[in-house]
Structure 1
Amino acid sequence: MNNCTTEKIIRISKIVLMAYISFFGLLVMFSNFTDYTTNYQFVAHILSMDTTHNSERTNYRAITSPMLHHRIYWLIITLEVTYTVYCLVGTFHLFQKLNASAREFHEAKKFSIIGLLIGLFIYYVCLQIVGVEWFNMDKSQAWNAKDWARHIVDFMLPLLMYIALRIER
């Protein structure tokens, strides 16, 4: 424990937390590739607004084209892969600079920060803003991921702030 200072524990905690969110990304990717149909159905139902008890005032928002459903789903998958790769690379860079100077460790945060920003775009902008506010996802009894997405954002946003903080000396 002689070499285990508070500064080092803080650095290790940043690496471990990035590893957690990277692991989550890997599981999401695995699910999207191995259970494409179930996840595609979710996207198709949300975009079609067929389970949201929508009114004539909101029907114009629905996207009913299966071709567009697949393309939008592949865009989401691409973003999730990108977020995961950035977080994995960011975790690796932080690990490499664990014993480096404060400046070098801080500079190693770039990929982690970019990955978390992409993750927040997926789970906050795409799901919570567009999914809930535009496609009324929260009105669906069967196809509602609002709370699931909120839990992810509730982890990612504070993690982004923690990673970005320059508290290392």
Structure 2
Amino acid sequence: MPFLSHRAVQLLSKGLLALSIGLFGLMVAGGNLLDYDSNWQFVRHVLSMDSMQPWFHGEALRGRAIHSETIQRLAYAAIIAGELATGLLCAAGGAMLLAACRPARRIWLARGKACFTLGATLAILVWHTGFAVIGGEYFAMWANQWNGQFSAYAFSGIALLALIYVNQPEAPAA
């Protein structure tokens, strides 16, 4: 096997990381579509605030609850669409970054980074803004028996770190 340059290894690393984030988004969206009801229950209970912990007495916050099943289902559809778009954009960006490992295909580097940047930003919007901020704080998911904040923070943190890493400049071509 010929020696890989530092630049090629960086592009390989960035491409595989982008593919990994894409795979996660696709698997989550796919799971939500294949087993719609499991995560529908999560979304429904968080939005309706009907399964709060017994110690929670935040009546002022309970006024934020959404009881309309139509709006709840629209929110769930938006979540799935965001997860699917995240997966597709990150996977496409990863594939482009892997293509850019070959010197003759460097044109794919900027395109791959741009595509991954869109996907990773969307991941942060879905998991941080959607789950941690809106679900966690607006709908007080922290006091709900259906609390997904830890997972949301973990994945949005990984997406943010990947976004920073992938967008760092590569080593000069050797």
Q: How does the TM-score come out when normalised to structure 2?
A: 0.89
Question: Residue by residue, what CA displacement relative to the aligned partner does 1:53-102 show, whole Å, maximum 9, x if unpaired?
Answer: 35221122110111111111001111111111111111121122212379
| Partner residue, 2:15 | 15
Q: Residue in 2 aligned with 1:122?
A: 126
Same amino acid, percent of matched pairs? 27
Question: Equivalents in 2 of 1:102, 1:137: separation in Å?
Answer: 46
User: RMSD in angstroms over aligned alpha carbons?
Assistant: 1.7
Match of residue 98 from structure 1: 101
SS in 2 for 1:62: coil
Contact 1:32 1:77 (C-alpha < 8 Å) held by counterparts: yes
In 2, distance between residues paired with 1:107 and 1:40?
35
In structure 2, the residue corresponding to 1:57 is in which secondary structure? helix
1:68 aligns with 2:71: yes
In the alignment, the residues of structure 2 paired with residue 102 and residue 28 of structure 1 have an alpha-carbon distance, to the nearest angstrom, of 31
Match of 2:138 in 1: 134
Provide the aligned length of Structure 1 versus Structure 2: 168
CA gap 1:59/1:92 in 2 versus in 1, 3 angstroms: same
Equivalents in 2 of 1:54, 1:76: separation in Å?
Answer: 28
- Give the Cα separation in 1 of the matches to 2:103 and 2:65: 52
- Using the alignment, how far apart are the partners of 1:17 and 1:108 within structure 2? 12
Q: Which digits, 9 at most, give the CA deviation of each residue in 1:10-63, with x for residues without a partner?
A: 111001111111111121022101110111110010001112235221122110
2:59 matched to which residue of 1?
56
Higher relative contact order (CA 8 A, sep 6+): 2
SS in 1 for 2:132: helix
1:112 aligned to 116, 121, 125, which one? Answer: 116
Aligned partner of 1:85 among 75, 84, 88: 88
TM-score by length of 1: 0.92
Question: CA 1:47–1:54 in 2, change beyond 3 Å: closer, same or farther?
Answer: farther
